[in-house]
Amino acid sequence: MLPSRTTEDSPELRGFFASIVEYGADPAPRLILADWLDEHNRSDEAELMRLHVSLLATCCAPDKHPERERQQARIVELLTAGVRPCVPRQTIALAKGVEMTFAWIPPGTFLMGSPSEEAERSDGETLHEVTLAQGFYLGIRAVTQAQWQAVMGNNPSYFKGEKFPVERVSWDECQAFCTKLSEREGKRYVLPSEAEWEYACRAGTTTPFHFGETLSTDQSNCDGNYPYNNGEKGVYRKRTTSVGSFPPNAWGLFDMHGNVWEWCQDVYRSYEELTTKNTLETENTDEMARVLRGGSWYFVARYCRAAYRSGLAPGYRFNLSGFRVAFRLD
């Protein structure tokens, strides 16, 4: 096992990042870091951080904050121009030239699901407030074929390429990957919960996509023949693309919309059922559907929305689904 490391080795930045992780949802360390970035001629990163802090603070009452639309548009503009979020990260080495990087997602409260007026929404997306009391690290990209090969010793993917996401992996096989990775790294790696996935995808936004009200194929790998909500028609690539080919969200997470569906840890249940059932109760869940999120290269933009939910049996494998890995500070 090789030690994990931060992706920026400046002692000052390491100190800021440690404070950000320690203080959880408190925005103060991030705002102090933004001032430091300004002082070190990194004004675009500072602006991005302040805008993101503001979005996170107002995401549960978006109607009361009309400035959010302007703030989000500016975030997308900065990210598209190549500005990258300055966030705590951890990187592990899996093999020579093969690394996996995780971004810190702080605890917080957000609106999960979609509002009744969202175009092309599904009935099972009831809008409700969710609080994540514990922060977590999430892979900034879907697990690649090179990463899967380094841990599992094989490559089941249909669309071959070291930097392409691994696909044709079942939920059960993703669990096996997490178990092997945990054993070799001495840390518990897991699939994110459904709530963690949507919270991470949204990054403070309340629009159908973290890019805004619609999605272009310059922002995501999906079927561009059928655009969403009056968007422009785009390309249909008919296959996966290299991970990280499109702009990230404000936490630095790539491909949260499209490319491959991503398995989550949860059994697929309605939100109403989740509020009335003890999700930790003992039951036979071997064949119960598991949650998939994010859409894929094969699906139209509607299915790539942050709120869209899907589910399949845990043993199902197809070339539309992959995953990303999380770990928590237990």
Question: Of 69, 90, 111, which closes a domain?
Answer: 90
pLDDT per position as a tens digit, 139-190 = 999 999 999 999 999 999 999 999 999 999 999 999 999 999 999 999 999 9
Q: 4 lies in a domain?
A: no
Q: 1 lies in a domain?
A: no
Read off the pLDDT band of 6 (50, 70, 90).
very low
3: its two tokens: 């030690």
Same domain, 99 and 56: no
Nearest CA-CA partner of 200 in 315, 322, 52, 58: 52
pLDDT at 260 over 80: yes
pLDDT per position as a tens digit, 9-46 = 689 999 999 999 999 999 999 999 999 999 999 999 99
Q: Please give the tally of structural domains in the chain.
A: 2
User: What is the rounded CA–CA span in Å between residue 57 and residue 68?
Assistant: 10
CA distances from 105 to 10, 129, 135, 159, 190 (A): 21, 18, 6, 30, 15
Q: 297 lies in a domain?
A: yes
> Looking at residue 210, which CATH number applies to its domain?
3.90.1580.10
DSSP character at residue 261? E
The whole-chain average pLDDT of the chain stands at 94
pLDDT per position as a tens digit, 100-149 = 999 999 999 999 999 999 999 999 999 999 999 999 999 999 999 999 99
Same domain, 233 and 106: yes
Q: Kindly give the pairing relationship between strand 89-95 and strand 290-293.
A: unpaired
Question: Of 90, 110, 145, which closes a domain?
Answer: 90
Domain housing 145 = 94-327
